[in-house]
Amino acid sequence: MIFQQLFELESSTYTYLVGCPETRRAVLIDPVLETIERDLAALQRLGLRLAYTLDTHVHADHVTSACYLRSRTGSKIAHPAVDGLPCADVGVAEDRPLVVGTMTFQPLFTPGHTDSHHTYLLAQPGVLRAFTGDALLIDGCGRTDFQNGDAPALYRSITQKIFTLPDDGLIFPAHDYDQRHVSTVAQERQRNPRLAGKTVEEFVAIMNGLDLPYPKKMDVAVPANRRCGDCPTELPERMRKIGGKSEQG
């Protein structure tokens, strides 16, 4: 398997490039509008053809590049089916995995950060990767105060689904604000300060007390992402003008 973790500085977003060495087909998980050229260059450098973009949820802190990449490469847009986005080519769900060459991306429905959030599992010989989006972060988790967020639901998603994965499963989040790259299921289960040893009531109290600022791009990003990033042509410049980091967890 071909794997690269790519970072977008402004929103502290990780995009994951995953490629099948046999078919040379690739998937970009949680791609960001401003990094289209970087991602296209990475695909070309590795000799890969983009087959799908795959978002974990409708993001509030950045605009997905899904539609723009489709227009540039002929790729298809995969998105959680529960959102029912007309712009998506393929709906994924727990009973509808995404198969690309020798790779199978198994969706886990993990609501709480948003009401339609999904985690994607990719099992390869000797390693399980969990792309947890904004649900589970390293030493944290996604906020639950907008987009039908639900703290008890997020607690259940993490403790009853993600934390039941093998201890050595690798956790690859959609964001990190402290230059960390990867964690494990065991580490987050044992050490995550919001979750380790916490009851659901304690977790809800923690989430209610975060007092995070309103996401700077939310009013533009959410409607744009419900169109898979298919927005007015001047959007990239508008997004750059907004500026500033928008923490999701």
What secondary structure does DSSP assign to 200-235, as a single string? HHHHHHHHHT--PPPPTTHHHHHHHHTTTT---TTH
Domains of the chain and any CATH numbers: 2-235 (3.60.15.10)
Whether the CA torsion 205, 210, 213, 219 is positive or negative: it is negative
Helix (H) or strand (E) holding 53: strand 49-54
Round to whole Å and give the CA distance between 7 and 93.
26
Express as a percent the part of the chain with pLDDT over 70.
Answer: 92
Round to whole Å and give the CA distance between 122 and 9.
25
> pLDDT tens digits, residue range 77-112?
999 999 999 999 999 999 999 999 999 999 999 999
pLDDT given for residue 231 in this prediction: 56
Identify the three-state secondary structure at position 195.
coil
Express as a percent the part of the chain with pLDDT over 90.
Answer: 90
